[in-house]
């Protein structure tokens, strides 16, 4: 299902100018959000991040137009062949729009905004994952490493590498050999009652669920901390989890040959329960609807 220029159409096919810089240069951004019961989880945070990121790139962004697109897809009852209230993944894409040849951004950009909705499997939420440490480095020197840009080439290659090795996701370290993130999510390591996640300056996206987990930690008896971690220290954690907007909080059961307890760890189970309740609250649904 596609939202474009204020209208919803079935499928995902619509005309696109083939000089659009999002297509030719990856000059744009995207956001992925979870919708439950016709409402977008953490809607304001998703919109604020997309608008702020667009500002960094110098792409005009209209927050209320983005909100209208997300809400239209989250609450629409047709085209997906589903009953109202099921889980949907809402992807919102913003490009700089069409432009002449060359890298220089046009002085008067006319951005392209569109959004799509697809069913999101309930089984994906809180599902365990196994991570493969990739040798591809996350470029922490680039401002783009902290944004959801359209350039995901490294993540695509690393995910293929992980799958070939029998793993679900790739784990990235940055150019300083510090743990950064997974291909599609933020990472947390638990040391006793201290929950540690890499800081943004290590080439990390300011994930929406990352922020929620940092806020929920104290209520779970944990002290949250943002600091750099080398891979050897990270592998010595008592437990590891991955967060993103569709998986929510996935217990990591292995990183390469290193095993972790996953959801069997008491603190991980506590965080999962707290996040489930928070998502249910923001969407106005029962907790069992979340996962």
**Chain segment 148-195, per-residue pLDDT in tens:** 999 999 999 999 999 999 999 999 999 999 999 999 999 999 999 999
Q: What is the pLDDT of residue 84?
A: 44
Q: Of the candidates 120, 146, 175, which is a domain's last residue?
A: 120
User: pTM of the full predicted structure?
Assistant: 0.95
Does 153 lie in the same domain as 106?
Answer: no
Does 215 lie in the same domain as 139?
Answer: yes
Does 159 lie in the same domain as 112?
Answer: no
How remote is the C-alpha of 105 from its chain's centroid? 26
- Give DSSP secondary structure letters for 147-163: S-BS--HHHHHHHHHHH
Does 156 lie in the same domain as 50?
Answer: no
| Low-confidence winner among 28-32, 75-79, 118-122, 230-234 (lowest mean pLDDT) | 75-79
Q: Report CA torsion sign: 73, 79, 80, 85.
A: positive
Which whole-number Å values give the CA distances from 53 to 30, 118, 183, 272, in the listed order?
10, 24, 19, 28
Q: Of the candidates 100, 120, 140, which is a domain's last residue?
A: 120
Q: Of the candidates 91, 120, 149, which is a domain's last residue?
A: 120
Q: What is the pLDDT of residue 277?
A: 98
Does 147 lie in the same domain as 91?
Answer: no
Return the percentage of the chain with pLDDT > 90, whole number. 96
Q: What is the pLDDT of residue 86?
A: 78
> Dihedral, CA atoms, 278, 197, 248, 146, nearest 10 degrees?
110
Q: What is the mean pLDDT of the chain?
A: 95
Nearest residue to 67 via CA among 15, 113, 119, 11: 113
Instruction: Tell me if residue 199 falls in helix, strand or coil.
Output: coil
Structure tokens at 114: 């569109």
Per the CB < 8 A criterion, the answer to whether 237 and 254 are in contact is: no
Does 203 lie in the same domain as 74?
Answer: no
∠ CA 79-44-46, rounded to 5°: 70
pLDDT at 208 over 90: yes
CATH number at residue 57: 3.30.470.10
Does 250 lie in the same domain as 185?
Answer: yes
Q: What is the pLDDT of residues 8-41, one digit of tens each?
A: 999 999 999 999 999 999 999 999 999 999 999 9
Does 271 lie in the same domain as 161?
Answer: yes
Q: What is the pLDDT of residues 40-98, one digit of tens each?
A: 999 999 999 999 999 999 999 999 999 999 999 999 865 444 444 579 999 999 999 99
Does 90 lie in the same domain as 187?
Answer: no
Q: What is the pLDDT of residue 78?
A: 59
Per the CB < 8 A criterion, the answer to whether 249 and 275 are in contact is: yes
Does 241 lie in the same domain as 111?
Answer: no
Does 163 lie in the same domain as 101?
Answer: no
User: Number of structural domains, the chain?
Assistant: 2
Q: What is the pLDDT of residue 83?
A: 47
Bridge partners of 91, per DSSP, are: 32, 116
Mean pLDDT over 224-239 rounds to 98
Structure tokens at 245: 């907007």
Task: Quickly list H helices, 115-265.
Answer: 153-164, 208-216, 231-235
Bridge partners of 29, per DSSP, are: 94, 149
Does 195 lie in the same domain as 62?
Answer: no
For strands 248-255 and 129-133, give the pairing: parallel
Residues 6+ apart with CB under 8 A from 248: 34, 125, 126, 209, 272, 275, 276, 279, 290, 291
Q: What is the pLDDT of residue 76?
A: 81
CATH number at residue 160: 3.20.10.10
Bridge partners of 173, per DSSP, are: 179
Range of the domain at 142: 129-290
């Amino acid at each position: 299902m596609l939202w474009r220029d204020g209208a919803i159409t079935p499928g995902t096919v619509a005309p696109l100018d083939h000089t659009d810089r999002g297509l030719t240069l990856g000059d744009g951004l995207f956001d992925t959000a979870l919708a439950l019961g016709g409402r977008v989880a953490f809607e304001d945070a998703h919109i604020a991040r997309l608008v702020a990121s667009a500002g960094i790139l110098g792409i005009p962004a209209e927050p209320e137009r983005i909100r209208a697109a997300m809400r239209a897809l989250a609450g629409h009852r047709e085209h997906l062949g589903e009953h109202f209230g099921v889980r949907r993944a809402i992807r919102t894409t913003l490009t700089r729009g069409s432009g002449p040849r060359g890298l220089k951004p046009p002085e008067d950009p006319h951005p392209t905004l569109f959004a799509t909705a697809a069913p999101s499997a309930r089984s994906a939420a809180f599902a365990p994952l196994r991570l493969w440490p990739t040798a591809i480095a996350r470029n922490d020197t680039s401002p783009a490493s902290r944004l959801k840009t359209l350039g995901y080439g490294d993540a695509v290659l690393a995910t293929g590498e992980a799958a070939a090795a029998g793993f679900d996701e790739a784990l990235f370290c940055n150019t300083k050999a510090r743990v950064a993130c997974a291909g599609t999510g933020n990472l947390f390591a638990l040391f006793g009652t201290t929950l540690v996640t890499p800081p943004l300056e290590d080439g990390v996206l300011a994930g929406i669920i990352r922020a929620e987990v940092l806020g929920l930690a104290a209520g779970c008896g944990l002290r949250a901390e943002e600091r750099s971690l080398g891979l050897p220290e990270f592998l010595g954690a008592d437990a590891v989890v991955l967060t993103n907007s569709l998986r929510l909080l996935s217990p990591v059961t292995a990183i390469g040959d290193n095993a972790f307890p996953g959801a069997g760890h008491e603190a991980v189970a506590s965080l999962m329960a707290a996040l489930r309740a928070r998502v249910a609250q923001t969407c106005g649904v029962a907790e069992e609807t979340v996962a």
